[in-house]
Amino acid sequence: MTSEVTTPTEPGQTAQSKSQRAHEWIKERIAAGDLAPGHRLVLGSIAAELDMSVVPVREAIRQLEAAGLVTFERNVGAHVAMVDDAQYRFSMQSLSILEGAATALAARALTTEDLRAARDINDEMIKQLDDFDPRAFTTLNQQFHAILFARCANPRMLELVNAEWARLGHLRESTFSFVPGRAAESVREHEEILACIASGEPLGAIEQIARRHRAATLDAYMIHEHPDAALNMPAF
Amino acid sequence: MTSEVTTPTEPGQTAQSKSQRAHEWIKERIAAGDLAPGHRLVLGSIAAELDMSVVPVREAIRQLEAAGLVTFERNVGAHVAMVDDAQYRFSMQSLSILEGAATALAARALTTEDLRAARDINDEMIKQLDDFDPRAFTTLNQQFHAILFARCANPRMLELVNAEWARLGHLRESTFSFVPGRAAESVREHEEILACIASGEPLGAIEQIARRHRAATLDAYMIHEHPDAALNMPAF
DNA sequence: CCCGGATAGATCGTATACGATCTTCACCAC
DNA sequence: GTGGTGAAGATCGTATACGATCTATCCGGG
């Protein structure tokens, strides 16, 4: 009792459990691309690496399984979720719908400062077009859309969007890095979206433009990867 | 080896782990309403009830937490997730968007038989309007929409819809049971949706009608529960 | 009467242990 | 060479044990 301070490091930040630490560690590793899709996750190894027993690691993996980031088979083990082209397509289409709606639901709440910040980021993206680095470009792209979403009137929609992006993991950048020319198109569409929001277009129109922006990225990717395959997705 | 058959009960159905059993048990109990929102989930008690130790129960609860059905606080315990009015509103709006899109993405693949089956269910709902039982009505409503979704070209969208409904748990029926007159309106809108699909309207039109169908339910609920509060949700 | 502090009980968090299951690979019959 | 068989090793699944933390209750001081 004497002079116990327990060094709370940060007031209001209770020490997180080991299972939480494992959860975040694995999640970050997947997002960073250190753990490629299909990579096997051995409980014991992860436990050893994080200096804990397997029980918290199991919990973490169960959570990640529920979120769709890893697959888990009884008596076989866990693997980083594979995202094949079909799943990628479906996730991206879902995202186009969710992001379109989220953008519309945020449009009326965006301030002049928000719009300028978004425009600044887009300008930076334009500058980088010549010396193209997929990773840096993708980061800016995330920031751009993050600003547009931030004031979304529906926080649950944001959660859904973020969860879906987490599922796609390190594939974030593939859409830009694999499809030449798409980046230039993308920043043009960004300008269009900003103009639409600034001029107070109807929410339905904003939703459509934002949706098509993401859908176009998906189309470009699909056409680039599978020039022969028909896009079995209804024009939407 | 002799004559070991291991009685595989069902070929292709491997014995499920205890954690899976716990997961399903809790999930069903929540969906059935046996475990009300806010109800405390004591690991030891559940473990005793299911005749297992706490470890699998913890895993199950972590999964349910990731799915949003349960909240979990370190050193405090788990509770069935509370869905306050704000969250309910946000989830329902998200659902209106997801379901609208899912309906449109399924429209072109629906067969004549599908449409007739949906119509039959809706007719049954109309019959039940006089002798209204929220639970039975809700079941039929689920079946109706399940048929419309079943052929959705995007399975991921269906997963998102189902996950969101699971989050709302036993509140499924509140939308009908609490808002007098909404049921009658709802079945009329069902007929509209069917007509739209049958006559080959553009997907965008189908999406809008399906979205408004769900959004109208939400509005009715909000107006009924909070006649004074402004609906802070953009008309969409 | 109200309030701060101590104590007991309940519950959570994780390590360890051990049986169950799967995977691998060497080996042998054909 | 091919395919089946068996054993060894790796890994998973869960029970048990015990320390850590929270909650509720009781008590003495103000």
B30: domain CATH number is 1.10.10.10
* Bases in strand C with any atom closer than 7 Å to a protein CB: 6, 11-17, 20-23
Is residue B234 within 8 Å of residue A108, measured between CB atoms? Answer: yes
Q: How far is Cα A183 from Cα A171, in angstroms, rounded to an integer?
A: 16
- The reply to whether B218 and B169 lie within a common domain is yes
- Does residue A101 lie within any of the structural domains? yes
Q: Of B80, B113, B134, which closes a domain? A: B80
Q: Both B140 and B71 in a single domain? A: no
Which of A60, A74, A233 is facing B153, going by the closest CB pair?
A233
- The verdict on A132 touching B (C-beta cutoff 8 Å) is no
Using DSSP's 3-state secondary structure scheme, residue B137 falls into helix
- The verdict on A91 and A105 lying in the same domain is yes
What is the 8-class DSSP label of residue B82? P
Cβ distance A59 to B62 less than 8 Å, yes or no, reads yes
The CATH number of residue B90's host domain is: 1.20.120.530
Indicate if A93 and A179 belong to the same structural domain.
yes
Interface of A with B in 148-167 (CB under 8 A): 153-157, 160, 164
Q: Is the pLDDT of residue A53 over 90?
A: yes
Q: Is residue A233 part of a domain?
A: no
Residues B125 and B101 in one domain: yes
A109 and A64 assigned to the same domain: no
Please check whether residue B37 lies inside any domain of the structure. Answer: yes
User: Are residues B111 and B150 part of one domain?
Assistant: yes
Is the Cβ of B17 closer than 8 Å to some Cβ of chain A? yes
Give domain status of residue B62, yes or no: yes
Which of B17, B153, B155 shows the shortest C-beta gap to A234?
B153
Q: Are B63 and A68 within 8 A, CB to CB?
A: no
Pairing of strands B70-73, B77-80: antiparallel
- Is residue A52 located within the same domain as residue A100? no
**pLDDT-derived band at A172, boundaries 50, 70, 90:** low
Of B69, B151, B80, B146, nearest to B110 by C-alpha is: B151
Amino acid at the residue B82: M
> Which two tokens mark A58?
């199991």
Q: What is the mean pLDDT of chain B?
A: 85
B37 vs A231, more confident: B37
Verify that B176 and B220 share a domain, yes or no.
yes
Question: What ipTM was estimated for this complex?
Answer: 0.85
Whether residue A117 is predicted with pLDDT greater than 70 in this model: the reply is yes
Residues of chain B contacting A108 with CB distance shorter than 8 Å? 234
For residues A73 and A181, membership in a common domain is answered with: no
Using 50, 70 and 90 to split pLDDT, how confident is the model at A207?
A: very high
pLDDT tier, B226 (very low <50, low <70, confident <90, very high otherwise): low
- Contact with chain B for residue A200, Cβ under 8 A: no
pLDDT digits (tens, 9 = 90+) for B44-93: 999 999 999 999 999 999 999 999 999 999 999 999 998 888 888 899 99
Domain boundary among B41, B58, B80: B80
Q: In chain B, which residue's Cα lies nearest the Cα of A60?
A: B62
Q: Which residue is nearest to nucleotide C5 (CA to C1')?
A: A1
- A188 occurs within a structural domain: yes
Backbone φ, ψ for residue A14 (5° rounding): -65, 145
Going by pLDDT thresholds of 50, 70 and 90, the confidence category of residue A170 is: low
* Residue B181: per-residue pLDDT: 82
How many independent structural domains does chain A possess? Answer: 2
B144 and B55 housed in the same domain: no
Could you tell me the residue range of the domain that residue B62 belongs to? 18-80
- Whether A27 is in a domain gets the answer yes
Lowest mean pLDDT among A12-21, A152-161, B8-17, B108-117: B8-17
- A102 is a domain residue: yes
In a domain, A3, yes or no: no
Identify whether residues B54 and B133 lie together within a single domain: no
Alpha-carbon radius of gyration of chain A:
21
Residue of B nearest to A92 (CA): B156
Alpha carbon distance, N-terminus to C-terminus of chain A: 66
